[in-house]
Structure 1
Amino acid sequence: MNDHRPRLDEHTLHRVLRASGIDPAEVTSRTELTGGTFNTAYRIRTSGGGFVLKVAPSPDSPRMTYERDLMSTETAFYRAAHGHAVVPEVVHADFTRQVVPSDFLLMTELPGDNATTLTAPERAALRGELGRVVAGLHEVTGTGFGYPQLGLAPTWREAFAAMVDAVLADAARFGVALPLPAEEVAASMGKRADLLDEVERPVLVHFDLWDGNVLAHGGKVTGLVDGERAFWGDPLAELVSPALFGDIDHDRDFLAGYGAAPFTPSARRRLAMYRAYLYLVMLVEAAPRQYTGPGHEKGQSLVREHLTIQLAALG
């Protein structure tokens, strides 16, 4: 993997902190957080509390269409979700690129570790609470559909079609081989587009709620983080990433906490569309991020397999 993420020297970090209203003299420690693959992130501890700083890659680094101005979306997500779900509080965000030549976001640090560190029984005990947290998130509604940084559409059908078109164009631009020709993928996704007209209310969707983006501490969910993939859309789309490569229908605790009704045939087809879209994103993003190695190849094979399954499910 060719890591394009910027690193901040101490002088630059102090400039960022001062721009955010934090006195660098109060910093007691800083640690780079290495789990991400797009932004650079630091945990910063001060005598007054803890913060997380995220710095976007250079604006001219290769990226997918939806990844343009991605930090503005993450910032908007936290601000919109605040008071409805457990998310970090935005301390300062700067998109002028004058303090550093990239966007940056400083937010409060939340307690806990991500759910990948939990034992299986600990994780299972939290699924119902996670469902309730996500239900709170979906109380937040917007004025249109789609990615906020790309402009909102008046209908979910129009927004989702643009999202699919963009990821297929990205696949062509980066030379990513799909399991089917792009035209066939588009036809499969478009075949059931009329079902999207059932979605009339644009809710705030995180769209990346795998265990690594869910914080937990003391048997409680303490935060939803990394909201950079967020969009305004169908709440059903949220139910894909918590059951990545699986079926949320098997997670009874999560669904009970969320308050989900039994899935109708229409809802199941929409879920297949959203799974296919997420797998397309996962397949294509590997190219601009220049992932390499046996682990990458194995992961890509798994994504292709599940993408093919979801496209077939659309019939």
Structure 2
Amino acid sequence: MLPAELYRELCDAVGEENIFTISPLSAAHDAFIYRLALKDGNQRVAKLAPNGGIEMEVFMLNYLHDKGGLPIPDILYASDTLIVMDFINSDWERSKAAERHAADLLARLHSITADFYGFRRDTRIGSLPQPNPRYDNWITFFIEQRLLYMGKAALEEGKIKPAQMRKLEKLCGKIPDIFARADISTPRLIHGDLWDGNILAVKDKVVAFIDPSIYYADPEIELAFTTLFGTFGKAFFRRYNEHIPIRPGFFEERCDIYNLYALLVHARLFGITYARRAEHIIDRFL
């Protein structure tokens, strides 16, 4: 049930007299998402966040579009508690054509560079804060601001055990040597949360990306995340490699290590099953 003040804001934004039906689409940890059918036949999607945070999402979407050239849904209304966008009836089925188009778009995004790792402000991944202080060295940033930061937060919340945290810290001491062969030198803009629910496609073309968690990174961390839940297959990686060659050792070693960050995020959001998956990866390298 929507809080009355949010329902009122939604009606004011769209025009209550224009709304035919409001149907729930999904619920996130800190937001409710609805599909609006309007009397003129158009459809909208509304995301309502009682605790705020929409301003950050709008900022990241616009940055992806303006700076990175990625398509996003048309934003029709936004406040810190509500965003209303065009509804896109995605038929993403991971066709080879759609994968190749996604690779073209993401390679273009990853061509946007900066002179530091991190971002000009902290962002969010899902409902969780994501710190982005500026670093000159990617490996140090990844260890301190991704693995150790998220691991310590998960430990404080009881989502990982002290023994698992000690293993993570031990692995962090090995990462500089494991990554030494990768020649990581250029910060590149990433979407940051590329599971297939955040990619909207129609007829084999990607028409929008949603729910980003942007910062400047080694883009391999983005590629790794797409393997965690099967976002893309071989067609994507073949096309992406034509644009930006994937460095040796990514699939064999760095992919799993990069996915520890996403698994720690999921452990905080969804529970210890993901902590166990992370521990299995850590054990492989200890």
TM-score normalised by the chain length of structure 2:
0.77
Q: Are 2:101 and 1:129 aligned? A: yes
Q: 1:203 to 1:48 in 2, by over 3 A?
A: farther
Contact 1:50–1:109 under 8 Å retained in 2: yes
Q: CA deviation at 1:245?
A: 5.4
| Whole-angstrom CA distance in 2 between matches of 1:144 and 1:31 | 43
Q: Are 2:36 and 1:51 aligned? A: no
Q: CA deviation at 1:40?
A: 1.0
Q: CA deviation at 1:185?
A: 0.4
Q: Which amino acid aligns with 1:54?
A: K
| Whole-angstrom CA distance in 1 between matches of 2:27 and 2:6 | 22
The correspondence of residues 96-115 of structure 1 with structure 2, limited to 5 A, is 103-113=81-91, 115=92
Q: 1:141 to 1:24 in 2, by over 3 A?
A: farther
Q: CA deviation at 1:224?
A: 1.7
Residue among 250, 256, 279 paired with 1:272: 256
Q: Which amino acid aligns with 2:110?
A: H
Of all paired residues, the percent bearing the same amino acid is 21
Q: CA deviation at 1:49?
A: 4.2
Contact 1:167–1:281 under 8 Å retained in 2: yes
Equivalent residue number for residue 127 of structure 2: none
Residue among 15, 22, 26 paired with 2:9: 15
| Whole-angstrom CA distance in 2 between matches of 1:151 and 1:44 | 35
Residue among 190, 203, 217 paired with 2:188: 203
Q: Are 2:57 and 1:74 aligned? A: yes
Q: Are 2:215 and 1:220 aligned? A: no
Q: CA deviation at 1:162?
A: 1.8
Contact 2:118–2:217 under 8 Å retained in 1: yes
Q: Are 2:123 and 1:139 aligned? A: no
Q: CA deviation at 1:254?
A: 0.5
| Whole-angstrom CA distance in 2 between matches of 1:145 and 1:17 | 41
Residue among 16, 24, 27 paired with 1:32: 24
Contact 1:80–1:140 under 8 Å retained in 2: no
RMSD between superposed Cα atoms in Å: 3.2
Q: CA deviation at 1:188?
A: 0.5
Q: 1:51 to 1:236 in 2, by over 3 A?
A: same
Q: Are 2:219 and 1:252 aligned? A: no
Contact 2:193–2:225 under 8 Å retained in 1: yes
Q: Could you tell me which runs of 5 or more consecutive residues in structure 1 were left unpaired when the two chains were aligned.
A: 1-5, 60-68, 96-102, 288-299
What is the DSSP-based 3-state SS (H/G/I as helix, E as strand, rest coil) of the residue aligned with 2:95?
helix
Deviations 1:113-157 (A, max 9, x none): 4x3xx3xxx634422222222223323445643363244313334
Q: Could you tell me which runs of 5 or more consecutive residues in structure 2 were left unpaired when the two chains were aligned.
A: 123-130
| Whole-angstrom CA distance in 2 between matches of 1:253 and 1:262 | 14
Equivalenced residues, count: 268
Equivalent residue number for residue 85 of structure 1: 70
Equivalent residue number for residue 263 of structure 1: 247
| Whole-angstrom CA distance in 2 between matches of 1:269 and 1:280 | 18
Residue among 243, 267, 280 paired with 1:283: 267
What is the DSSP-based 3-state SS (H/G/I as helix, E as strand, rest coil) of the residue aligned with 1:107?
strand
What is the DSSP-based 3-state SS (H/G/I as helix, E as strand, rest coil) of the residue aligned with 2:263?
helix
Deviations 1:2-51 (A, max 9, x none): xxxx7244x64342453x5x433223332221264442112224438433
Q: CA deviation at 1:275?
A: 0.8
Contact 1:130–1:257 under 8 Å retained in 2: no
| Whole-angstrom CA distance in 2 between matches of 1:90 and 1:202 | 28
| Whole-angstrom CA distance in 2 between matches of 1:28 and 1:247 | 34
Q: CA deviation at 1:54?
A: 1.5
What is the DSSP-based 3-state SS (H/G/I as helix, E as strand, rest coil) of the residue aligned with 1:240?
helix
Q: Are 2:180 and 1:184 aligned? A: no
Equivalent residue number for residue 167 of structure 1: 150
What is the DSSP-based 3-state SS (H/G/I as helix, E as strand, rest coil) of the residue aligned with 1:226?
coil
| Whole-angstrom CA distance in 2 between matches of 1:73 and 1:272 | 29
Q: 1:106 to 1:266 in 2, by over 3 A?
A: same
